[in-house]
Structure 1
Amino acid sequence: MSAVALYCYWHRFSKNPFERGSHGKEYYCSPPGTGKSYLAKAVASEANGSTFFSVSSSDLVSKWLGESEKLVKNLFALAREHKPSIIFIDEIDSLCSTRSDNESESARRIKTEFLVQMQGVSNDNDGILVLGATNIPWVLDAAIRRRFEKRIYIPLPDAAARKEIFKLHISNTPHSLTDRDFRILGEKTEGYSGADISIVVRDALMQPVRKVQTATHFKKVSGPSRANPNIVDNDLLTPCSPGDPHAIAMSWLNVPSDKLLEPIVSMNDVLRSLANSKPTVNDIDLEKLSKFTHDFGQEG
């Protein structure tokens, strides 16, 4: 990320950022859900004076003969016209996988056009940064891989990062979690990606709603009024145990909408959601990514 940011800022001081060895082509490889696309968005926000192009295979593949390679050529032509510019290609493996004898002629022509545009003799690519993202870098064509001068591995978040991701996703939602709780959650989610944690938190945020729907008893409590949060309402209703001395037997359908106070998210809610969730990244894929990084890439 720092290398990309340096490239973006260097345009402000140099007519040709590549004269000092800046890398004009990079791709990120990582397990799914680690934020490769967010990194590209961060690049776009850092490069205030650059034009940002974000494309995927669906943007460049056409059913009409010869149209796909024309779209690739036009993309790079447009980037040269508006440079300094950044081209981000998401899931680049779907466009530039290893060539084989049984692939279609159309797929072969797309790869050829990419190779020509990224390092053609007559192409002026100074001032253009090409970024790619893939979860399976080992399927990329060797010639395409060579065109990308930097191959950066984005690992799964560590415990400290996972703790912050939990905090970020729970954010301003009313909750009772302490900093110690967030630290414990970070330690319990070894092998989880940022996207996995997002799914856990979204499910945990629904736990109070489920409590309301399944509750058979409610009790009166004080809390902020729904009409005006600055006013305290003393006759709100919240789910409670049937054994509570103030319990009133009723279902949530009998509670007026302006008198319902949902429970706040608790540590138990998150742990319950975590128990029903498993990481989406398996050890086999991590081993493949680790081997690829050892052979061809570098740590991000």
Structure 2
Amino acid sequence: IDSLLSSRSEGEQEASRRLKTEFLVQMDGAATDGQDRLLLIGATNRPQELDEAMRRRLVKRLYIPLPDASARRQLMKHLLKGDYHSLTDEHLDEIVVDTDGYSGFDLNALCKESAYGPVRRVGQPIETVDLSALPPISVEDFKDATHIVRPSVSDKDLSTYLEWNRQFGSFPQDDPQK
């Protein structure tokens, strides 16, 4: 929602200003009948850039933290479903520890990068590789991939999100880094 409803500024084009105003007007009048219900769900990784008028209309503002160990494990299992791999539960535990601070997007990129490991080990151009002859994705492929795919959310970003949540969130949380 930040791409559509970022804070209004002096240098902003008139068309953009009108679009934001119209969106807010429509949102205010969307559920005027007592029987109607409107559920608007928006997501952003730049909450501090939301227009103040929009922020007021978002009655519940929820901070969704980075995935914890349990969530990372579940997400990894889901992302690997259907892939040929040799990962044991112990290997998954190692990967979960190594991916502390990774977002869901980062984990997706890590799995994709790890899937290239068997192709690289074969040492042939990908067009000539017999996919059925590829070795499974291994824990070593994941270890190698963590050197390429790094966490994309900085400590500074996390602090910004937590501060915004303390100030405007519906359910302020303590800093999990402490």
| TM-score, with structure 2 as normaliser | 0.85
Aligned to 1:159: 69
| Cα offset, 1:202, TM superposition | 0.8
Q: Which has the larger radius of gyration?
A: 1
Answer 1 or 2: which has greater helix percent: 2
Runs of 4+ in 1 over 6 A off after TM superposition: none
Residue 280, structure 1, aligned to residue 152, structure 2? yes
Indicate conservation of the 8 Å contact 2:30/2:38, yes or no: no
Indicate conservation of the 8 Å contact 1:97/1:141, yes or no: yes
Gaps of 5+ in 1: 1-91, 216-251
Amino acid paired to 1:270: F
C-alpha RMSD over aligned residues: 2.5
Q: Aligned partners of 1:276, 1:161: CA distance in 2, in Å?
A: 22
Counterpart pick for 2:11 among 102, 111, 123: 102
Indicate conservation of the 8 Å contact 1:170/1:201, yes or no: yes
Amino acid paired to 1:115: L
Percent identity, please. Answer: 42
Bigger relative contact order, structure 1 or 2 (CA pairs below 8 A, ≥6 apart): 2
Q: Aligned partners of 2:44, 2:92: CA distance in 1, in Å?
A: 30
Query: Across the two proteins, how many residue pairs are aligned to each other?
Result: 170
Gaps of 5+ in 2: 174-178
Q: Aligned partners of 2:31, 2:106: CA distance in 1, in Å?
A: 45
Counterpart pick for 2:42 among 104, 112, 132: 132
Indicate conservation of the 8 Å contact 1:160/1:183, yes or no: no
Q: Aligned partners of 1:158, 1:171: CA distance in 2, in Å?
A: 20
Indicate conservation of the 8 Å contact 1:163/1:183, yes or no: yes
| Cα offset, 1:121, TM superposition | 9.7
Counterpart pick for 2:84 among 162, 171, 174: 174
Indicate conservation of the 8 Å contact 2:31/2:38, yes or no: no
Q: Deviations over 1:83-111 (max 9, x none)?
A: xxxxxxxxx11111112222111111112
Q: Deviations over 1:122-180 (max 9, x none)?
A: 94483221111111011111111111111111110011111121111111222211111
Decide whether aligned partners of structure 1 residues 191 and 209 sit closer, same or farther in structure 2, where only a CA change above 3 A counts: same
Residue 115, structure 1, aligned to residue 24, structure 2? yes
Decide whether aligned partners of structure 1 residues 269 and 123 sit closer, same or farther in structure 2, where only a CA change above 3 A counts: same
Answer 1 or 2: which has greater strand percent: 1
Q: Aligned partners of 2:33, 2:24: CA distance in 1, in Å?
A: 14
Indicate conservation of the 8 Å contact 1:161/1:186, yes or no: no
| TM-score, with structure 1 as normaliser | 0.52
Q: Aligned partners of 2:5, 2:51: CA distance in 1, in Å?
A: 6
Residue 212, structure 1, aligned to residue 122, structure 2? yes
